[in-house]
Amino acid sequence: MNSIAAMPNTANTPDLDAVRAAFPALQTEVHGHQVAYFDNAATAQKPQVVLDRIDQYYRQENANVHRGVHTMSQLATDAYEGARERMASFLGASDSREIIFTRGTTEAINLVASSFGRSFGPGDEIIVSAMEHHSNIVPWQLLCERTGARLQVVPVTEDGELDIEEFPILLNARTRLVALVHVSNSLGTINPVRRIITDAHGLGVPVLLDGAQATPHAPVNVQELDVDFYCLSSHKMFGPTGVGVLYGKAEHLEAMPPWQGGGDMIEEVSFTGTTFNEIPHKFEAGTPNIAGVIGMAAAADYLETLGWSWIKQQEQDLLGYATTQLSGIEGLRIIGTAPKKAAVLSFLVGATHPYDVGSVLDRLGIAVRTGHHCTQPLMKQYGIPGTVRASFAFYNTRPEIDRLAEGLRRAAQMLA
């Protein structure tokens, strides 16, 4: 996978049936059918070890973190800060102080826009791409409205790749930040982020990557990438919802002002002024999502226990098999055919609306996502209202894909 760290070898190949059994939600019945869950890009299911770790916190360690002298508070603090160390290791960060806990990728991007972007001014430029999720468009638009900066947009080709030759043309002395998606949520495209970071750094321009769709599929090493900011969401990588990470190089985070005020992000408060805590705490105001952070670390443990080599092999097999099976359906058009993709297939079935196709599949117990996938500018480029999106995880199977293909044939007949 381009610009995602090399796969480690593993001697132990997980048993797929045992892996599936570890995810209770995969046993759910929908309209009398065992669910075939293909909505992993929206949120992935949670393994029992993650559920158990969250339950353990609430049953045995439930207390607020930091500054508590009693034993349960110390246990909670150790688990919470241990999770910070775990996520630093998961991302290859050099220092756990570079890990900021957020509510997810969206909040992480907003944090950078509100704090790092505070010094931007009229004529400054921010480069995004035409395939960005709205969460990596709207915060920069709001910043531009406040500061007079402006967006520049890297085009996307018909097959769903960045028009990489346009990027150096947009990059110039006025560029203050490049903010791009690592892996497209709606197309699955894996972007050439190493080249982008190298080009940007050649002009001294920092880079932010939206890694929400990258971290579930392969290891990411922020030091090897030399990226300035990296954002992820726990719930995409088999952890709990409502929590995520902003990685930032310490030099940037130390220079950035706080973006929210409250408890824990302060050093000393008086009515004449306040001094702020050190990183990472100056960016974490108020009581955090302690259980969510601990659960996210358990999800990181689980992924690395499975082994990235097996995860990649399993998901790429599913992507290849699904591409072949669905391509044989009359009238089906795949949107996004880049050669380097994560396990995401977006498509249309003839002239039928994606919502109608998704509704038929749901009656068959098949869960897909329909709509514009928070990438409306990209859909407008293709001249379509949206797509049906099947996004796979390592726990999916070929027989489930066979069910999807048969369900699409049935939908095509019903909706013709």
How many Å from the N-terminal Cα to the C-terminal Cα in the chain?
38
State how beta strands 344-349 and 332-335 pair.
antiparallel
Cα–Cα distance measured from residue 221 to residue 237, given in angstroms and rounded to the nearest whole number: 16
Please give the angle made by the CA atoms of 193, 209 and 342, to the nearest 5 degrees: 65
Which stretches of 241-319 are assigned E, i.e. beta strand? 244-248, 266-270, 273-276
Amino acid type, 249: K
**Helix pair angle (290-306, 48-56), 10° resolution:** 150
Q: How far is CA 334 from CA 294, 320, 345, 348, 365, in A?
A: 38, 13, 7, 7, 22
The residues, ordered by sequence, that sit 6+ positions from 139 with a Cβ below 8 Å of its Cβ are 109, 110, 112, 113, 114
Q: Which of 293, 297, 338, 374 is catalytic?
A: 374
Cα–Cα distance measured from residue 227 to residue 246, given in angstroms and rounded to the nearest whole number: 12
Confirm if 328 and 320 have CB atoms less than 8 A apart: no
- CB atoms under 10 Å from CB of 24, counted, come to 12
3-state secondary structure of 346: strand
- In the residue annotation, 144 being an active-site residue is answered as no
Count Cβ atoms within 10 A of the Cβ of residue 295 and give its class: 0-12 exposed, 13-18 middle, 19 or more buried. buried
Amino acid type, 307: G
Tokens 């500054």 map to which residue? Answer: 67
Residues with a known catalytic role: 374
